[in-house]
A and B are shown apart, each in its own frame.
Chain A
Amino acid sequence: MSDALATTLIDDIGALLLFTMILILGAGQLYRAIYAVAAQSVFIGIAGAVLGAATGNPDLWVIAGITIAIKAIFLPWLLLRVVKRVGIRLEIEPVIPISVTLVIAAIIVVLSFYLAASLGTVRQAITGNALPVGVALMLLGVLVMVSRRKALTQMVGLFASENGIFFTAMAVSQGMPLIIEIGVILDVILGALVMGILVLRVRSSVDADIADLDQLRG
């Protein structure tokens, strides 16, 4: 695969990633956000495969496979299962109104493009918009985490943020070493499992609303 084609493809995938991120931000219901983050992980996997084909690095193929299997299938399945078991309200409860979040998101994206431009010539494996898109995804994931009340939605934000880090890593280096990637993915799984157990167990006595933890005094 030629470099120019790979750059175009990665750019297009970057646009799709941004769009799924906007869907997560604008989702009014938990299910939609989970499906959107699953779609985003699929696109990340495809991006890994494209980069693997372009650079000839076999590790990237492995990582792409793992990403799709874990982040696009297993983790969303886990989240949906927890949602069903807990039976919480499906409406997302934002701390600030969703339309305000969307405005902040616009500012964040423009800032990350500005940031990437001001960094000068970072050694990039691929040229194009991959670096700013990755940074934007990372920050928007954090925005989801801080602007939502429920633990489950914050988890969706964490996954999105992790996708952003992954995309940035692919853009700047030619993929991180396999062992690091696997370590990161294991971390995410562990986080998801802990969150799932926490929500399921805590639910019996306390509502899994993070804002309630403010009331907790030692």
Chain B
Amino acid sequence: MHPFEHIAIALGQMGLIVLLAPFTTGFIQKLKARLQCRTGASVWQPYRDLVKLLRKGTVQSDSASAIFRAVPVLVLAATLTAAALVPVVVVRQAPAGALPLGDAILLLSLLALARFLSAVGALDAGGAFGGMGASREMTVGVLVEPVLMLVVFSVAVSTGTTDLGELAARRGLAPLSLHAPDLLALFAMLVLLLAETGRIPVDNPDTHLELTMLHEGMLLEHSGPGLACLVLATHIKQLVVMALVAAVFFPAGMTASLAPVDLALALLVFAGKALLLAVFLALVESSYAKLRFFRLPQFLGVGFLTAFLALALRIL
């Protein structure tokens, strides 16, 4: 395979994620509204919001420096790069000596970088809520990121690679090859999915109430196109984590050929998996109350212990 083809596939999947990401958020919000007996906004609402924000001007605080202006672009760039690394519809063995497009550790550290950058941006603006949001977001990050690593390692140990494409390709041979450690890792991942996507037991994505917000607090000072970048990055991150779950645990249905029929079929399968996870998120979000912040270590501790046991089961 030509090395550029490898890169082109990665870029194509990245474009796919960017296009679909706002729809996923819109779908979850619509489903949540229906579950709460509301009509809710249209599923296309996130796209409209983005367009509206892109048209607006920018206002920023007097104490903000150049870093503040650069942050939205950098966060979006880090998240986009992460989106290029996760396999969505095509899994292929990377050609020897090619760039490691699909390394799980790189993917997770890019997401961590995006988190760090948005925290820096929030602190730079000098607002009280931004600082509070940043501090909370980083606390959650400390609890979530190591556990994500544990989950990925527990799967990587069995396949001997951290490259997501190869990992999915090797596991994809059997349609439903979930063994005991994989089950535990999957449960841990579902707990983490709630935290990583900023959903209700951990964070509330729909509120600007200062007492409850984590992620939104960091976005408060941004406006206009900058805010659009950050909001888009949030949508993308959510779909990237979902795609990560799909690639690691349910790789069945991905294709190795580039024929249009195969691609369309694989895309349909991926849409099915993503919708399933979106339904899970909406259901949890409608049936749980937000946890008190100091209760979070306990909630995420369940995820940590499960991931730890998955790794322990795999090794022992």
Give residues in A with beta carbon < 8 Å to B: 8, 11-12, 14-16, 18-19, 22-23, 25-26, 28, 98-99, 102, 105-106, 109-110, 113-114, 117, 129, 132
Residues of B within 8 A of A109 (CB): 309, 312
Supplied contacts A98-B301, A99-B298, 5 more A-B pairs, CB within 8 Å: A12-B178, A26-B299, A110-B316, A114-B316, A129-B180
Residues of A within 8 A of B146 (CB): none
Residues of A within 8 A of B251 (CB): none
CB distance from A153 to the nearest CB of B (A): 15
CB distance from B78 to the nearest CB of A (A): 31
| A102, B316: Cβ atoms closer than 8 Å | no
5 A-B Cβ contacts within 8 A? A8-B179, A11-B179, A15-B181, A26-B302, A102-B305
- Prevailing SS type, chain B contact patch: helix
| A12, B180: Cβ atoms closer than 8 Å | yes
The 10 closest A-B pairs by CB, nearest first: A15-B180, A26-B302, A11-B180, A113-B316, A15-B183, A102-B301, A98-B298, A99-B301, A102-B305, A15-B184
With A12-B178, A28-B298, A113-B316 as contacts: A22 and B183 at CB distance below 8 Å: no
Chain B contacts with A in 285-316, Cβ cutoff 8 A? 295, 297-299, 301-302, 304-306, 308-309, 312-313, 316
Residues of A within 8 A of B297 (CB): 99
Q: B23 contacts the other chain (Cβ, under 8 Å)?
A: no
Expressed in whole angstroms, the Cα–Cα distance for A26 and B306 within the complex equals 11
Residues of B within 8 A of A129 (CB): 180, 313
Chain B contacts with A in 146-189, Cβ cutoff 8 A? 178-181, 183-184, 187
Residues of B within 8 A of A14 (CB): 180
| A26, B183: Cβ atoms closer than 8 Å | no
CB distance from A139 to the nearest CB of B (A): 14
Residues of B within 8 A of A12 (CB): 178-180, 183
Expressed in whole angstroms, the Cα–Cα distance for A29 and B312 within the complex equals 28
Residues of B within 8 A of A11 (CB): 179-180
CB distance from B145 to the nearest CB of A (A): 17
Expressed in whole angstroms, the Cα–Cα distance for A132 and B312 within the complex equals 12
| B308, A106: Cβ atoms closer than 8 Å | yes
| A16, B312: Cβ atoms closer than 8 Å | no
| B301, A15: Cβ atoms closer than 8 Å | no
Residues of A within 8 A of B313 (CB): 15, 113, 129
Residues of B within 8 A of A114 (CB): 316
Residues of B within 8 A of A22 (CB): 302, 305-306, 309
Residues of A within 8 A of B179 (CB): 8, 11-12
| A102, B302: Cβ atoms closer than 8 Å | yes
Residues of B within 8 A of A15 (CB): 180-181, 183-184, 313
CB distance from B187 to the nearest CB of A (A): 5
Expressed in whole angstroms, the Cα–Cα distance for A22 and B301 within the complex equals 10
Expressed in whole angstroms, the Cα–Cα distance for A200 and B95 within the complex equals 70
Residues of A within 8 A of B304 (CB): 102
Contact of A19 among B299, B306, B312 (CB under 8 A): B306
CB distance from B161 to the nearest CB of A (A): 23
| A26, B305: Cβ atoms closer than 8 Å | yes
Chain B contacts with A in 178-230, Cβ cutoff 8 A? 178-181, 183-184, 187
| B308, A18: Cβ atoms closer than 8 Å | no
Expressed in whole angstroms, the Cα–Cα distance for A79 and B87 within the complex equals 47
CB distance from B80 to the nearest CB of A (A): 35
With A102-B305, A106-B305, A114-B316 as contacts: A18 and B298 at CB distance below 8 Å: no
Chain B contacts with A in 209-257, Cβ cutoff 8 A? none
With A26-B302, A99-B297, A99-B301 as contacts: A19 and B308 at CB distance below 8 Å: no
Residues of B within 8 A of A106 (CB): 305, 308-309, 312
Residue among B179, B183, B297 with the highest chain A CB neighbour number at 10 A = B183
Residue among B297, B304, B316 with the highest chain A CB neighbour number at 10 A = B316
With A8-B179, A12-B183, A15-B184 as contacts: A110 and B312 at CB distance below 8 Å: yes
Residues of B within 8 A of A16 (CB): 183
Expressed in whole angstroms, the Cα–Cα distance for A7 and B313 within the complex equals 15
Residues of A within 8 A of B308 (CB): 106
Give the nearest-CB partner of A20 in chain B: B187
CB distance from A173 to the nearest CB of B (A): 22
Expressed in whole angstroms, the Cα–Cα distance for A114 and B180 within the complex equals 18
CB distance from A80 to the nearest CB of B (A): 18
| B316, A117: Cβ atoms closer than 8 Å | yes
